[in-house]
Amino acid sequence: MEYFLTAALIVSHPMNLLSIFVGTFFGLVFGAIPGLTATMGVALLIPFTFKMDPITGICLLIGIFIGGISGGLISATLLRMPGTPSSVATCFDGYPMAQKGQAGQALGIGIVSSFLAGLSTAVGLALLSPPIARLALHLGYFEYFSLGLFALTIVVTLSKGGMVKGILCAFLGLVISMFGTAPIDNAARFTFGWDEMKAGFSLLPVLIGLFAVSQIITELLKSEKIMIPQIGRQRILPPLSLFRDEWRNLIRSTFIGFFIGILPGIGGATGNIVAYAQAKSASKTPEKFGTGHPGGIVASESANNATTGGALIPLVTLGIPGDAVTAILIGGLMIHGIQPGPMLFKSNPDVVYSIFVATFISNIMMVLLMLGAIRVFIFLLKIPKTYLLPLIMALCVIGAFAMNNRMFDIWTLFLFGIIGFVLERFQFPLTPVLLGIVLEPIIEINLREGLMASQGDFFPIFTQPISLLFILLAVLSVLVPLVWRREKSG
Amino acid sequence: MNSDRWFGAVFLVFSLVLFWSNETLDTPAFDLLGSKFLPRVASLAMIFLSILLLVLGKGSVPKAKEKGRITYRPAIFFVILTAAYFLALEFGLGYRGSTTIYLTLFVFMLSDYRLRALPISLATAVVSTHAFYYFFEKFLQLLLP
């Protein structure tokens, strides 16, 4: 409790509140405009935090994260174009409602559902993280190695485009992270006699390249003209009676989103679809889903916002990302010298509890901004790509260079922009690449140090119960989808 | 040959190069596994998966191609323009000069090369370049390329 009060005092500093406000606003903008995503927003705005106090920087990044996931609702409802992958299911009922002249009500239902779910999971994050971190303190080298392996396999098996492509992408991420100086003995790997390569690929240019530059190239290929329905003076706040009918749906979807968020590597993109499917199957009128049923929006929006709190749990307690955005958040924290994981609760409790408080406040700011300034965000949808894309590219260059001030990073940005575009174009998933990059040091360092500690004995990987549990879960997460697919095709 | 098989071939060459590079590496024997172990495992796994993709690949159709309205011209122009911009930065042409030219051409390209759009493109480029310059270099004191 003492830590909470301290964190509340820290976060309530005007500079930190302003930081959350600005972050949430830009997150909503990135989430709302199709083609810009929360992942891109966090990657692009990390350089803005370089000169900030770490907690102010974290407040900004948390704001973008929460805002980015929430903003997808606007374009999903008005344009049937999910601003983020987390809002795909919102299109199913949001857009038909907008077509019936109920755009304001659809947006209101989405905003309130997002807020209630986001706030509940912020509380869940604060309640569950400390005991998980206490447990995680007992994890040794082999447990961390197995956990890293499990996180990687679960991402691979749930990624789109087939398992072979998913595994290949995960290994691609692992080898990208191996370029440069190795841990422990400082051997220079994959440098091809090139001095610049000894430092390897910096995380930030790789992330901006994969998720922002590749997206810019993708957007260049599209030529859709945007027609935005008017919401006029429609009432935004939904009637209370609606939530009397949908409270079960809201709670169920929040739980689904929260627990999917906790699973490493899976985020809102999966959570909103699963919650929507569950809401539809539990409904007395499933035939109305997809035709403008408020329950569809409640399910999708509460689930995707619930994943934000869930995804932050493995990040703060284990140092393992819950999804693509939190993988970039880890990069952002490390740039500020903060290593997420259980030790953070001991070494920097102010930082951990500030994350909890910032998540809570950001959800409040999100609902206030969305309800108060929804017309501003709708107006921003009209910004032509002609001006938006070049400005984002200019920001990408600044972001890639700012960390180490070397031209090599600019070329890294360019290379990974093209790689990301080509991979995604041909349905090779990018999330396993990202997770591979982030998890490689965890897997390699813990395996090697574990073997040094056990004097070369591999058996503890299989004899220590928690390590064995993660290894079994990793094996199951590969085998179960294979069996399901075989049964489906058989 | 479908796209998956092309990718299989590219990944195969890439992973063979990585494997060769790793095997020719001279590393100190500091711990049991050493720095060559995981790169070896990863490159061998990639070789196996690339062969699998080469043999079993069914091919993936880019999403926009399915809709039958795609032109790669803007993407190719973007890549060439961006490479030229980075070369200009590399050879010390200066951030403000090269970024202004880059943004002007980029906005001009996205305006379908209409000459009427050129003054607006230039104005946008000049204003945004200088706004970035003063915000990042002067206010945040970050170095720009």
Nearest Cα to Cα of residue A121 among A111, A109, A129, A132:
A129
Q: Are residue B82 and residue B118 in the same domain, yes or no?
A: yes
Final residue of a domain: which of B66, B99, B115? B66
* Chain B residues whose beta carbon lies within 8 Å of the beta carbon of residue A185: 27-28, 30-31, 34-35
Tokens representing A435 are 């997770």
Q: CB of A466 within 8 A of CB of A145? A: no
Residue B116 lies in a domain: yes
Across the interface, of B22, B60, B143, the residue whose CB is closest to A189 is: B22
> Which residues 383-412 of chain A have a CB within 8 Å of chain B?
385-387, 389-391, 393-395, 397-398, 401-402, 405, 407, 410-411
B142 touches chain A (CB under 8 A): yes
Residue ranges covered by each domain of chain A: 2-146+204-405
In angstroms, how far is CA A21 from the centroid of its own chain? 19
What dihedral angle (degrees, nearest 10) is formed by the CA atoms of A7, A148, A160, B38?
140
Same domain, B121 and B91: yes
Contact B75 A185 (CB under 8 A): no
Angle between helix B37-56 and helix A163-178 axes, rounded to 10 deg: 150
Domain stops at, among B42, B66, B90:
B66
Q: Would you call A191 helix, strand, or coil by DSSP?
A: coil
Which of chain B's residues have a Cβ under 8 Å away from the Cβ of A220? 74-75, 78, 110
CB of A144 closer than 8 Å to CB of A411: no
Chain A nearest-CA distance from B19, in A, is 9
Residues 68-87 of B with CB under 8 A from A: 69-72, 74-75, 78-79, 82-83, 86
Q: Report the percentage of chain A scoring pLDDT > 70.
A: 94
Average pLDDT over residues A101-108: 86
pLDDT, tens digit, 9 for 90 and up, residues B99-116: 999 999 999 998 888 888
CA distance A313 to B136: 33
Report how far residue A310's alpha carbon sits from residue A253's, in angstroms, rounded to the nearest whole number: 13
Residue B144 lies in a domain: no
Domain count within chain B:
2
Q: Which residues of B touch A425 (CB under 8 A)?
A: 62-63
pLDDT for residue B7: 92
Q: Are A168 and B46 within 8 A, CB to CB?
A: yes
| pLDDT given at position A175 | 95
Which residues, numbered 174 to 193 in chain A, qualify as contacts with chain B under a Cβ-Cβ cut-off of 8 Å?
174-175, 178, 182-185, 187-190, 192
Whether B145 maps to a domain, the answer reads no
**Percentage of chain A with pLDDT > 90?**
27
Residue A388 tokens, joined: 């938006």
Give the CA count within 13 Å in the CB-facing half-sphere of A293: 21
Whether B11 is in a domain gets the answer yes
In sequence order, the 6+-apart residues with CB closer than 8 A to the CB of B82 are A393, A414, B102
DSSP letter string over chain B? --HHHHHHHHHHHHHHHHHHHHHT------SSS-TTHHHHHHHHHHHHHHHHHHHH------HHHHTT----HHHHHHHHHHHHHHHHHHTT--HHHHHHHHHHHHHHHHTTT-GGGHHHHHHHHHHHHHHHIIIIIIIS-----
DSSP assignment of A237-297 equals SPPHHHHHHHHHHHHHHHHHHHHHHHSTT--HHHHHHHHHHHHHHH-S-GGGTTSS-HHHH
Chain B's closest residue to A399, CA to CA, is B144
CA distance linking residue A218 with residue A226, whole number of Å:
17
Judge: B4–A426 Cβ closer than 8 Å, yes or no.
yes
pLDDT digits (tens, 9 = 90+) for A323-366: 778 888 888 888 888 888 888 888 888 889 999 999 999 999 99
Q: Which domain holds residue B80?
A: 73-139
**pLDDT tens figures, A230-274:** 666 667 777 777 777 888 999 999 999 898 888 766 666 678 888
**Element (DSSP H or E) covering residue A188:** strand A188-189
CB contacts, 8 Å: A452 with chain B: 31-32
Residues of chain B with pLDDT under 70: 30, 59-70
Whether B96 and B130 map to the same domain: the answer is yes
